[in-house]
Amino acid sequence: MSGSEVVRPRRPIGAVPAPWLDVYPLTGRTGFRAVGEVSLPTHGIWERALEDAVRHDGAVYHVELSALSFVDVAGAEALADAARRFGERRLVLDRPPAALPRVLDLLWPGLPAIEVAAS
């Protein structure tokens, strides 16, 4: 083995890594970036981040989602609930997973606070 090779821990064949979600504050604008997936094991992290967004008093809050691989229906519901509590403010979803806006439109149509941005 040469000095430039990376040694990774071994896991059993077929083992699936545990779901994870990291949330980071954005620089240059108000909001957070979510990385990983929103599923049962990560709902607490997701819901706390959304609760912080609801408590923020600015007119616009950005949620950068380009690094999310998956959002389950319960995670979409938590997002819809947060959006309903936004009132006149805007919750901008920046580059969400393709299925998320479709699920929101299907199950929670007409959420005026949510704006989906492609960039």
What is residue 118's predicted lDDT score, i.e. its pLDDT?
80
What is residue 17's predicted lDDT score, i.e. its pLDDT?
78
Question: Number of folded domains in the chain?
Answer: 1
Query: Is residue 7 domain-resident?
Result: no
- Domain of residue 33: give its range: 21-117
Burial class (CB in 10 A: 0-12, 13-18, 19+), 42: buried
pTM assigned to the model: 0.84
CATH number of the domain that 87 lies in? Answer: 3.30.750.24
> Which residues share a beta bridge with 93?
63, 116
SS3 state of residue 32? strand
Query: Is residue 1 domain-resident?
Result: no
Query: Is residue 113 domain-resident?
Result: yes
Identity (one letter) of the amino acid at 5? E
What residues in the chain have per-residue pLDDT under 50?
A: 1-2
What is residue 41's predicted lDDT score, i.e. its pLDDT?
95
Query: Is residue 14 domain-resident?
Result: no
- DSSP conformation letters of 56-104: --SSEEEEEEEEEEEE-HHHHHHHHHHHHTTTTSEEEEES--THHHHHH
